[in-house]
Structure formats: structure tokens, C-alpha cells
Amino acid sequence: MNTSNNVLNMDEIRGQFPILHQQIEGHPLVYLDNAATTQKPQAVIQAITDFYTQCNANVHRGAHHLSDEATRRYEKARDTVANFIHAHDRKEVIWTSGTTEGINIIANGMAQRLQSGDEVLVTEMEHHANLVTWQQACLRSGATLKIAPIHDNGTLDTEAFAALLSQKTKMVALPHVSNALGTVNPVKELTALSKEQGALVLIDGAQSIAHGNVNVSDIGCDFYVFSGHKLFGPTGIGVLWGKEKVLQDWPVWQTGGEMIAEVTYESSTWGELPNRLEAGTPNIAGAIALAAAIDWFTSLDLNAVQAHEQALMASALKQAQAFEGLTIIGNAANKMGVLSFILQGCHPADIGFLLDRQGIAIRTGDHCAQPLMRRLNLPGTARASFSVYNTLEEVDALFIALKKVQNMLA
């Protein structure tokens, strides 16, 4: 599917997503809720079917053909992820159930190491997964949670961020891209600033992973977490990437089979990476299907993907700016994937409902970012979020439908 002229073949791409070809309420489905979860190409659906029809067995422990084949596909999937995110070593890729679990593994370990006087720095634009988890780790350990403010336009106040960093800062956790605002944070620069103070850095990659090249080595962070389901893969699988030297003695998360070295009735020792952080039978089919998703995604020209998504965003912003009564929430110059907005006199929930009646799927509400909504003085927003399979015609359809919504509610 690589294109030489940086243009995607949209019919071919959309043809691979069976779910997109249906009518909702008599209208063609326009799926603009990609920040919540992406749809799955046929290759991913097929990878799940193939696993269960060809080689379903448990991994690493079988003395038979099916187990060997399941293990081969499962461990190959780890290589696929490692290559995709430019990890130094496959051992650095830990399977999780998603972004939330990845953050919890690190916060749980950190809570055992933090003490009173230590600080954890997050931002005002966190998803609850990266706020509540650190808040609770701080409450358990006696450390202090610091919140780096944003400007009114939805960009991080990087000067305030830098001023909050000190030798007391043991952990910095922030999103690569905000799910509520679309703001792209300068994670490489922020990581470098944090590292100058000796802090560990976790990047929440839930919203960035499906939009182009993520290079964890280049960013320089210690941990990068994401969910498979936002990257064209299935639910229930995700990735915690961490630098080998940091992860190798990270406090174990869950205990049980697979993660041990030696066990007696009295005590146990832990295995090596990646197994030490992967207790129990993993989501084998999920990992294999996530690799199929990555293979599908990387078969596209990723520069063309980015150009296409920028064109979608540019069209959406242009139409939103010209739309009377509409206010865009989050006006960062560098935005990715997400258009959040409010419409004068219209409750976001009503907008969502009435767009759905026209076949258009968006998300409304607080986007799992209640403190951010409070900071912006909003009950919530309507959010359209774009993916590679969306078209400029679908962006137009959103604004035509929105005009009808406005007329109905006015």
C-alpha cells in the first residue's frame, strides 16, 4: 500500500475496515470517535481468528507444536512493537492491558520508593489515568503531587513547568497528546528539562501512538505507555515500554506464574525482563493482533498518513472557526487528532445525541479529565477525533450535521 506520491488510497484503506460500511439511522456511519477507540482493519480481525483456529495454546510452557507456534507469534509481536517504537531492546516491551495498567505498574513501583519531601509532577491536562494514579501514589507514599499549569489556549505553560522542577522531583508524568484538547506537548524538550533534575519521566502515549512516528529512544523518557485499541488493535492489550536499566529491578507488580526465577514455600525470586512484570497467562491473541495492527499501519506511508490527518484537522479548524456560535476548546498551534468544541446554547450531550441521529459518532462530556474541565470552566465539550480512514467529506458532513443540530436546539 505504500504510495510514492504521499497520497493515500482512501478507498483501499476504508475497504479494510468492515465496520465503517454501515448505515446508522439511515445515514452512512461517520466515525469521529477515534480518540476513544479506533476501528479494526480486517488484518487484525483475521489475526485473532487465525490464532484461535490455528494455534491456540498457552505460551512459553508447552511441550507441543501448538504452544511453540503460539509462543513464536506472541514473541514476534514483541519484536514488532519494539521496532515500531524504536526500543533499544525487545526486553523493554512489557505487555499490559492498556495505558491505564502501564501507568499503574509504574506508579505502584514508584509509591514504594517515594517518601515525604519527594515530588511528582503532572500537568493540568491529564486524563484521569495519569492523574488519579499519581495522586493516589503520592497519598500512599507521603510525596507531594505538583500540577504544571496550562495556558488558556490549552498549551502547557512550559516556563511554569520548568519552575516546578527541582531535585525534589522524582517523577514527571505527562501526555504526549491531550485527549481533551489535542495539544501536542514538546515531550523531548520537557523530558530533557526533567532529566536535568534527575527525575524519571513517563509519557502517556495513548493519543499519539496512532498518528505517526513515535521514537521512545529519541524522546529520551524512561517509560512510554499506550493502548492497543487506540492503534487499530483489540481492547485488553497495551504496552509499557521502559528503559532496561530502569525496569530491570522495578518493583514487581503482580506475582504468580511466569514472572518468577525460583520458588520455595518460604520465598521467591523474580525472573528477568520482560517476564518479571508479566505475571500469569498473558493476552496472547491480543498481543498477536496488536502486532497485526502495527504491521497494517506501518504498511502505509506514515508521512502521507500525517499529511492526510493534518489536512483533516486544517479543514475541521477552518470550518469550526467560521461556524457561528462555536468555540474551539484547545487552540494549540500543534494539535493532533482532536477537535474539542462547545456550541452556544447547546449542551454537549444534546449535540452528541443529535449528531448520532445523523450517523455521526463523536464523544461528549468531560473526557476523563474533570479537573481540566473545571480549570476551563466548562461542564464538558463535544469532541470529534480523526483517524487515517476519515475523509474530508466526513469532516464536511460533521459541520453540515452540526448546523442542523444548532437549528434544532436554537
DSSP 185: P
Cα–Cα distance, 108 to 136 (Å, whole number): 9
Indicate the Cα dihedral angle 369, 371, 376, 382, nearest 10°: 20
100 vs 141, beta carbon nearer ligand PMP: 100
Which of residues 124 and 204 has its CB atom nearest to ligand PMP in the complex?
204
Task: Name the maximum alpha-carbon separation found in the chain.
Answer: 71
Which residues contact ligand PMP (rule: CB under 6 A)? 98-100, 127, 129-130, 175, 179, 204, 206-207, 227, 368
- 370-391 burial, b at 16+ Cβ within 10 Å, e below that, comes to ebbbeebebebbbbbbbbbbbb
**CB nearer to ligand PMP: pick between 135 and 358:** 135
| Distance in Å, CB of 39 to ligand PMP, minimum | 15
Residues whose CB falls within 8 Å of the CB of residue 13, separated by 6 or more in sequence, listed in order: 1, 300, 388, 389
Indicate the residue among 127 and 308 with the shorter CB distance to ligand PMP: 127
Question: What is the rounded CA–CA span in Å between residue 204 and residue 235?
Answer: 17
Choose the catalytic residue: 55, 138, 221, 368. Answer: 368
* Distance of closest approach, residue 167 Cβ to ligand PMP, in angstroms: 28
Q: How far is the CB of 238 from ligand PMP (least distance, A)?
A: 6
Q: How far is the CB of 103 from ligand PMP (least distance, A)?
A: 7
Residue 206 or 326: the one with the smaller Cβ distance to ligand PMP is 206
Nearest approach, Cβ of 264 to ligand PMP (angstroms)?
Answer: 36
Length of the chain: 410
CA dist 204 and 223 (Å) reads 9
H or E segment to which residue 121 belongs: strand 119-123
Q: How many CB atoms lie within 10 A of CB 281?
A: 13
Q: Which three cell numbers stand for residue 326?
A: 462555536
Judged on CB neighbours under 10 Å (0-12, 13-18, 19+), 308 is buried
Give the nearer residue to ligand PMP in terms of CB position, either 235 or 268: 235
368 a catalytic residue: yes
Nearest-CA neighbor of 60 among 44, 74, 45?
A: 74
CB of 236 to ligand PMP, least distance (A): 9
Residues annotated as part of the active site: 368
